[in-house]
Amino acid sequence: MAEMLVSYLAVNPLPGDILVPVPLHRKRLRERGYNQSGLLAKHLGELTLMPVIEDCLIRNSYALPQARTQALTERRRNVSGAFSCRDGRLAGKRVILIDDVATSGATMDACAAAMKSAGAVSVWGLALSREI
């Protein structure tokens, strides 16, 4: 799947210094055993030679998966304030945020706001698929 993203980026390049996956809450990570966005970012990083930072952006609150919510306002409320950066490693960086599925974009917006508050210069979102 990361190869599909590499093909997309070859035609549609994004300005980025680092890759950051959308994090899972620690409860969901324990339940699932892996972060699908993290795996995707790792493989994409290997293929593009871009560094991946997995432990800076964190999910502070547990919430329902966005795909289970219906309204855009509910999705935005579901992730409002849910993310923060634990340190300053993103300061001055151009970030490409990696997710497996984008629904409304509310999660990516919330992640971008947290990273920009931590000093990221820009944040571009890249998802493998989009739910319509």
List the domain boundaries for the chain.
2-130
How far is it, in rounded angstroms, from Cα 1 to Cα 103?
18
Sign, CA torsion 72/28/110/48? negative
Instruction: Tell me if the domain spanning 2-130 has CATH number 3.40.50.2020.
Output: yes
How far is it, in rounded angstroms, from Cα 90 to Cα 51?
12
Per-residue pLDDT of the chain (132 residues; tens, 9 = 90+): 999 999 999 999 999 999 999 999 899 899 999 999 999 999 999 999 999 999 999 999 776 555 555 666 776 677 878 899 999 999 999 999 999 998 888 899 999 999 999 999 999 999 998 876
Alpha-carbon distances, residue 61 vs 2, 24, 127 (angstroms): 28, 9, 22
- Residues forming a β-bridge with 125: 97
How far is it, in rounded angstroms, from Cα 2 to Cα 39?
9
